[in-house]
Amino acid sequence: MSKGKLTKENILKTAFHVASQDGLESLTIGELARHCSMSKSGLYAHFNSKENLQVTVIEYANLIFAQRVVEPARTKYSDDIEAKIRLLLENWLTWNHSFQGSCMFLDAWRSDAEEGNAIQKSLVAGIEKWLHYLEIQVEKAKEQNIFMVDLDAKQAVFQLYGAYLSSQLFYSVEGEQVSRERFWLSVNFLFDHWRK
């Protein structure tokens, strides 16, 4: 790996950490330069704008998300689709709870950024990819007669996402253990309902 690529990789790791703690909107060229012990001009040369920096960090976060959430489930349970879905959900929950601050994806949706800008487009693309992947897993579970064949996979993913978002609220109010318990109660209820 070239020195330039190595430097950019280290910058992205630091940027990901900062955005995970303080939110994506807090990530600026100046703030990141301070964290990386670099000059603003040196850092600016890698990204050329705050927006490019934030988009690049979102793309980097999507790669990390795939490594931490998707790949372990894909590798461990390629044949057992229900176990794979459950591990995907567990990894997803752990993904958000692993941050000292909160998930930059959730925080970025709450920002005032105008719709259709590069940052929002990048966020939407990442979320759509994840939702589509979950939908494919639900379809596979239907094909294997684990879930009802007439189950609406998109609606199922909507319900799973609702349980996930609710768990984030409960995490803030009642802590990780309660939010995790409530999440799995919801998931088990949904799975039981989808089998009928």
Least confident of 35-44, 60-69, 98-107, 124-133: 98-107
CA distance 152 to 51: 37
Burial tier of 12 (Cβ tally within 10 Å: 0-12, 13-18, 19+): buried
Q: HSE, CB side, 13 Å, CA atoms: give it for residue 14.
A: 18
Domains and CATH numbers, the chain: 50-195 (1.10.357.10)
Residue 35 has pLDDT above 60, yes or no: yes
Provide the CA 86 distance to its chain's centre, in angstroms.
16
Q: Which of 71, 72, 126 is nearest to 104 (CA)?
A: 126
Q: How far apart are CA 99 and CA 20, in angstroms?
A: 6
Rg (CA), the chain: 19
- pTM, two decimals, is 0.86
CB 26, CB 109: distance < 8 Å: no
Angle between the N-to-C axes of helices 50-65 and 29-36, in degrees from 0 to 180, rounded to the nearest 10: 60
Residue 119's nearest CA partner among 45, 42, 61 is 61
Under a CB-based contact definition with an 8 Å cutoff, are residues 42 and 30 in contact? no
Average pLDDT in the chain? 88
The per-residue pLDDT for range 158-194, each reduced to its tens digit, is 999 999 999 988 988 999 899 999 999 999 999 999 9
Q: Is 151 helix (H, G, I), strand (E, B) or coil?
A: coil
Tens-place pLDDT, residues 129-146: 999 999 999 999 999 999
- CA distance linking residue 91 with residue 71, whole number of Å: 10
Give the C-alpha separation, 10 to 23, whole Å: 19
* pLDDT at residue 42, as a whole number: 85
